[in-house]
Amino acid sequence: MQTYLSALGYDIWKAIKNGYTTPSTPIIDVADKKLYRNNSKGKNAIMCRLVDSDLVRLMSYTSTK
């Protein structure tokens, strides 16, 4: 999985490795938007490869870490 996520981009793998905390305020800064997007891409890649029983359990998570 690490190889696949790294192939999607270094920033996506870094978002997964370092974790991500969803801010409580709206995201305005361009750099923050990029972090959010990379976290979302990582979550999508992971969830697309899960079986249904695991997917239901993990759907509420906000961070890829």
Stretches in the chain below the pLDDT threshold 50: none
Q: Are 64 and 18 contacting, i.e. CB atoms less than 8 angstroms apart?
A: no
- pLDDT of 37 reads 92
- pLDDT of 34 reads 93
Pairwise CA distance, residues 20 & 30, whole Å: 16
Residues 15-30 as b or e (16 or more Cβ within 10 Å = b): bbeeebeeeeeeeeee
Please give the model's pTM, rounded to 2 decimal places: 0.72
Pairwise CA distance, residues 21 & 35, whole Å: 10
Q: Are 58 and 47 contacting, i.e. CB atoms less than 8 angstroms apart?
A: yes
